[in-house]
Amino acid sequence: MSHASDQGSPGLPAGRGCPWRTPRRPIVLIVDDARENVEVLADCLQFEYDLRFAYNGPEALACAVDEPPPDLILLDVMMPGMDGYEVLDRLKSDPATAAIPVVFVTAMTAIRDEVRGLALGAVDFIGRPVSPSIVRARIRSHVALAEARRQLAEQNQWLMHERCLAEDILTRLRETETFDPHKLRYVLSSVDRSNGDMLLSAMTPDRRQWVLVGDISGHGPASAVVAPLLGHVFYSQAAENGDAEALLIELNRVMFQRLPLQMFMAFALVEVNAARDRLRVWNGGMPGCFNRSGRGKLTLVGSAYYPLGLQPNLGETEAPTELVFHPRDRFYLFTDGFCECEDENGKAFGEEAIFALLAEPGPRRSVQGIWLAAARYHGSDQFRDDLTLVELRP
């Protein structure tokens, strides 16, 4: 019989979680108050595993937290003081030992005994008297499964680290001092840090204001990585006193030529003239795009363009919608996340609910008020899609 060891090579780190850790034999902890039972199991397993031994419940709990932890525990049910069921319950209640697979080895093989053990978290039952070949086969399978789970957990942890790093980079790329919040109120709510919605705003040298709200297909890093590229085009064109329609042509070209076919963007672009008394509006697949007059009248600007990136050029499209922009008017844009957020019965909030809120006087008409109304309707502020709502003032 041998005790577990984990001696690494000099100068190299060893232990769980290190991709370069020194290979070692799996560790099996055998727990039984009868030494003859321990010896029978040890004779079956000593050539494949490093073994540890405990002869009662408290010893088992102490051995389970030794470093490195055991890969598997063979546990007797009938023990004086603390029986196997209590040991298992305590193992599963401790985060440090909860993931260690436990196999009961016992003469108690009635169905009710197995049901109780499995309900507490045991992975298997082996009845006594044991068959060495069956014991070795089952232990080998459970140890291999535990190792596969451990490797998967490490890989998931590594992937989460990489995703967080990528999201941090994308967030920094999206943050720009070029964004001009002049005459804007807005709320942005994202599913995660990798927001698929985008809001861009800039003043041209001749004092026109461009506001672009975009909803990139999907969400997460694949969508968020597109935003810095489009933002660069947007702000570069604005700084050069560009034409708004030429901006859309360039954005569409960039998306179509540089991105996969499944990547496209519903958008609404608003240009406010220098005098701030007229608007030009381009809507490409965006649901919420409308003007609210000082008297409460809503004028919807429907979609007349394809989303950007779906075809090689904008094609033969209608002229942009032109509106007079009075001092008490407000222009609103929102992405489909607001319309599609659902209540507990799966019923969507809908554009009509937003229109009704905007027609009301008072704080419910504010962008924050509308966001709170959607959150109450959904039953939570944890939405399933990215949400953006923008109010533009003269």
Is 12 inside any structural domain? Answer: no
pTM more than 0.75? no
pLDDT band at 177 (very low <50, low <70, confident <90, very high): low
Residues 190 and 260 in one domain: yes
Residues 181 and 240 in one domain: yes
pLDDT of residue 167: 58
Residues 188 and 75 in one domain: no
Structural domain ending residue among the three candidates 95, 125, 160 = 160
pLDDT of residue 13: 36
Tens digits of per-residue pLDDT, 11-26?
333 333 444 445 678 9
* Lowest-confidence segment of 7-21, 74-88, 147-161, 227-241 by average pLDDT: 7-21
* Lowest-confidence segment of 27-36, 80-89, 98-107, 158-167 by average pLDDT: 158-167
Distance CA 125, CA 143 (A): 15
Structural domain ending residue among the three candidates 160, 185, 220 = 160
Structural domain ending residue among the three candidates 160, 184, 201 = 160
Residues 260 and 323 in one domain: yes
Residues 261 and 372 in one domain: yes
Q: How many domains does the chain have?
A: 2
Higher pLDDT, 227 or 209: 209
Q: Is the pLDDT of residue 210 over 50?
A: yes
Distance CA 392, CA 394 (A): 7
pLDDT band at 169 (very low <50, low <70, confident <90, very high): low
pLDDT band at 9 (very low <50, low <70, confident <90, very high): very low
Higher pLDDT, 42 or 178: 42
Is 129 inside any structural domain? Answer: yes
Q: Is the pLDDT of residue 359 over 90?
A: no
Q: Is the pLDDT of residue 82 over 90?
A: yes
Is 38 inside any structural domain? Answer: yes
Residues 228 and 301 in one domain: yes
What integer is the mean pLDDT of 33-46?
93
Is 52 inside any structural domain? Answer: yes
Is 171 inside any structural domain? Answer: no
- 149: domain range? 27-160
Residues 220 and 334 in one domain: yes
Q: What percent of the chain has pLDDT over 70?
A: 83
Residues 113 and 191 in one domain: no
- Long-range pairs for 3-10: beta carbons < 8 A, 24 or more residues apart: 3/50, 3/51, 3/52, 4/50, 4/51, 4/52, 4/66, 4/68, 4/70, 5/50, 6/67, 6/68
Residues 300 and 336 in one domain: yes
Residues 103 and 139 in one domain: yes
Residues 143 and 235 in one domain: no
Which CATH number belongs to the domain containing residue 386 in this structure?
Answer: 3.60.40.10
pLDDT of residue 1: 36
pLDDT of residue 111: 80
> Per 3-state DSSP, what percentage of the chain is helix, strand, and coil (rounded to 5)?
35, 20, 40
Closest to 213 (Cα-Cα) out of 378, 309, 334: 334
Which CATH number belongs to the domain containing residue 131 in this structure?
Answer: 3.40.50.2300
